[in-house]
Structure 1
């Protein structure tokens, strides 16, 4: 069923999408390459573990995904869990077994239709996640744009493991030690991306066909080489500190010498199952929330299949664990880059995975000349598009019940990390949902002895105390109409209370009528009058 659905989607692919998907694939590849490496470093895992996860997340999960635009790969939100798990289990090879088991759990969850839980994520939290990630991207990339590259690409926590700074002290240190060369490269790169985007939006064919990200990288590399010969003080060098640093394959180092494989002897240790369950739950939560967010960003307004996505993620994690890769999830940064770069279908995701594979096989030495300042510029533009000021004002106008969970999610993501921000945002969001739903679902209009009780929405058990209080307040001689036409559902206890009150009303001399008060609106309306 999973494969047939995906093949049906691919058969409906339009060739008109190809230019957009190629452009998006190149942008996601350029942004994703240092992120895969950085997340591997932040996780305490081998560099190739991040690349393997990115390749499988692109090609395999991209093909099987329940979404046309979601991009999967190693996730920053799992970095701390991965690092602690490797330490707890004693080796990376043993940890890979937990990744495989987590994938099996996700496949089972998908077949059990657990993806339906994504419908219960409040809209305000989804918007808060997108804005929070957008702001974190900008804040975390400012130091790289200024030439301070001591922190890993892809580490989005507030407190940084790499250099023991935090998001804001890192920016301060970057301002003190700003590199003129990096500043020029990043500013020129941002200018290219912004201008190119505007000209492409005006319908100019050249600017729509030629990917801005590729031009940006070519100019960035050229500027750095220009500095090398003519402005040595501005030159960033070719060191690990300032450049993309992709491990290079050689004749002496084949795949078997650089990849890690799982050690299944750990299967008798119960700890691995607990870690696997943690990875499965956290990865699934991030995936489902990101899937909701990607549907919001999708320019073609398609609706993803969350249960199919869980199966795809599970298969991806099984294969990633077998090949020595990190856990795979649907990730916000690469998905956002994909959308804002013009993606129209899953082909862009699959292609960027293929580009990662080609980079590992053929182009490592070439790509290692790309300054991180170029990548920072690309991500800053993506972050700004996610967190534009208009989102704040629009959410504020929607009222307290929407703005408070939204801003709590944003602040949690900025000042702690993505996972904490989502959890605290969900908690606050659900509190507001409960509060809103607990508000009275009915209106009472009294004109002398005429009383109209109008149900304005579905009536649940929680409304029983207020309804009992209303019935007690009725007086002899009142003429009461309970109008249930606008309630598609009436709780059994509420229905029983209203119908049983008919006898009480008769004894007290109250004219009492129920209009379309039924437990199932599909049935013929029920009338009771006394």
Structure 2
């Protein structure tokens, strides 16, 4: 069995290694920025990225989901550190949140993710794509914004994003525009059929070429045309370790010496909040990742919750931020050709090597070329063809999709998904409402069909159809296809059977319920399909 798994991963190694490098380049500034925004030590974000890549990647049920610090938890973490009085207090809450997630996994709570309609999940992906484009354009033009906003779709609203977007127009720097524009062009060219056919070029991932271009250009520009180079604030900023012990000095441990943390109810409130939001974001990201998976695999959600629980327990023990599965990084991996969990593991491995040995060199990477990679990913997620695809599917699919996109853009992920789910359920109920009962007229004969499940929600529709039946006609009430008929529906039909003779309406009933209940409606003709 182990040999078979090794063969499977080895077969996809040529795709997963380059994809892992791309995700590493994207994740690196985000890990640092999310830690900065959370009011936590910068290294805490890297620890979570390392745990997500090196450990959770192998525990996860998904081959493609990538875990790490989530922008959506920044406000919760920031407030928690303030409320609990220290980062060590947050670590205790993170540890407890992990234990809760582990319990949720064993209680099979992962099934929640399956209740989100396809149109809503696709809407979430499209919204994330649009947010990526809005948030990355400032970096692409040389506007120095916040890292934490770069993949945030939980807390920052569209209003703040659009304000930042327009502010960026006044802060354009020519060097950043050149880097991002050429990088984007390279990514587009690398995705064309001609480039894909070239054996040598196929081995080199487009995003890696974009990064090499950015580093090479900025080095040349700083030497020969300083006005066209990007400044240090637009470069990756990674803490540099002088010696190996510096790396281990950055780890921090939860402080259990103060029993106040375990007797403080606020710790449990924070832990429950982190567990619920991290689990929901993970399940939504997992559903979305499954949609993007080119091999169409379905990840076991309960196993994912257990993996996230273990990840958060480890993060709480060694000084990391709370983690979730993150759709932006997962999408970047898939977009770069990632096919298995080796891509996620590779990104964690490169994070570790970069912190230990290559921090100095990685700090030469300009943010505009990373912005181009995310712009390209954003466009793939929010492709205009996707909008037209749902439009042609009809309003019952397009409206939940479009409303989810708008709701996420103008609120946050959880509120947007809740609104989208509400509209999705409305259209499902509406479709079932119309399809549960049909009335067919042929001259003075009517056929009232009860299809599938007929609930109390269909009572108004049934009454509407009954009122259409004219006097001196005949009616067949056919319930042979109905698997369930609500008591309210039976009661409405019985009321109609009682008054039908007054209008000289002849009624025959097929398979509504037992003969003994119908015999009181003499002289009706009763047919029973089952005998």
TM-score (norm 1): 0.88
Q: Deviations over 1:313-344 (max 9, x none)?
A: 11111111111111111111101101111111
Alignment partner of 1:514 is 2:510:
yes
Contact 1:69 1:335 (C-alpha < 8 Å) held by counterparts: yes
**Which residue matches 2:216?**
222
Deviations 1:99-144 (A, max 9, x none): 1111111111111111111121122221111111111111111111
Q: Do 2:509 and 2:528's aligned partners in 1 also have CA atoms closer than 8 Å? A: yes
Change (3 A) 1:11 1:468: farther
Q: Which residue of 2 aligns with 1:352?
A: 347
Could you tell me which residue of structure 2 aligns to residue 187 of structure 1? 181
1:168 aligned residue: 162
Structure 1: how far apart are the matches of 2:149 and 2:218? 23
Cα distance in structure 1, aligned partners of 2:496 and 2:311: 61
The answer to whether the aligner puts 1:247 opposite 2:242 as a matched pair is: no
Match of 2:441, SS? strand
Partner of 1:295: 290
| SS in structure 2 of the partner of residue 219 of structure 1 | helix
Q: Is the 8 A contact 2:154 2:413 kept in 1?
A: no
Supply the distance in 2 between the matched residues of 1:211 and 1:44 (Cα, whole angstroms): 35
Provide, for residues 431-489 of structure 1, a one-character-per-residue CA deviation record: whole Å limited to 9, x for no partner: 333444333511112334532122344322322454466568778875443334544x3
Partner of 1:107: 102
The structure-2 alpha-carbon separation of the partners of 1:105 and 1:229, relative to structure 1 and needing over 3 Å to count, comes to same
Deviates more, 1:150-159 or 1:402-411: 150-159
Aligned length: 512
The match for 2:225 is 231
1:19 and 2:14 equivalent?
A: yes
Shift of 1:82: 1.4
Moved more, 373-382 or 7-16: 7-16
* 2:519 matched residue in structure 1: none
Q: 2:440 matched to 1:432?
A: no
Q: Quickly say closer, same or farther: Cα 1:529–1:20, change in 2 above 3 A.
A: closer
After TM superposition, give the deviation of residue 212 of structure 1 in Å.
2.1
Shift of 1:79: 1.2
Does structure 1 residue 177 correspond to structure 2 residue 178? no
Check the 8 A contact 1:158/1:415 in 2, yes or no. no
Superposed counterparts of 1:373-452, under 5 Å: 373-439=368-434, 441-452=436-447
Q: Which moved more, 1:249-258 or 1:403-412?
A: 249-258
Aligned counterparts of 1:158 and 1:310: Cα–Cα separation in 2: 21
8 Å CA contact 1:220, 1:374 repeated in 2:
yes
Structure 2 CA distance, aligned partners of 1:200 and 1:254? 47
More helix by share: 2
Once the two structures are TM-superposed, the CA of residue 355 in structure 1 deviates from its matched residue by: 1.4
Q: Which runs of 5+ in 1 are unaligned?
A: 519-525
TM-score normalised by the chain length of structure 2: 0.88
Q: Give the Cα separation in 2 of the matches to 1:31 and 1:22.
A: 14
Provide closer, same or farther for how the CA distance between residues 439 and 227 of structure 1 changes in structure 2, counting only shifts above 3 A. same
Unaligned 5+ residue runs, structure 2?
515-526
CA drift at 1:529: 9.7
Q: Do the aligned partners of residues 185 and 499 (structure 1) sit closer, same or farther apart at CA in structure 2, a change above 3 Å counting?
A: closer
Distance 1:292 1:160 in 2: 20
Matching residue of 1:523? none
Identify the residue that residue 527 of structure 1 maps to in structure 2: 528
CA distance in 2 between counterparts of 1:376 and 1:506 reads 71
| Deviation of the 1:506 alpha carbon | 10
Q: Look up the SS of the partner of 1:170 in the other structure.
A: helix
Aligned with 1:328 (options 306, 323, 326): 323
Find the counterpart in structure 1 of residue 521 from structure 2.
none
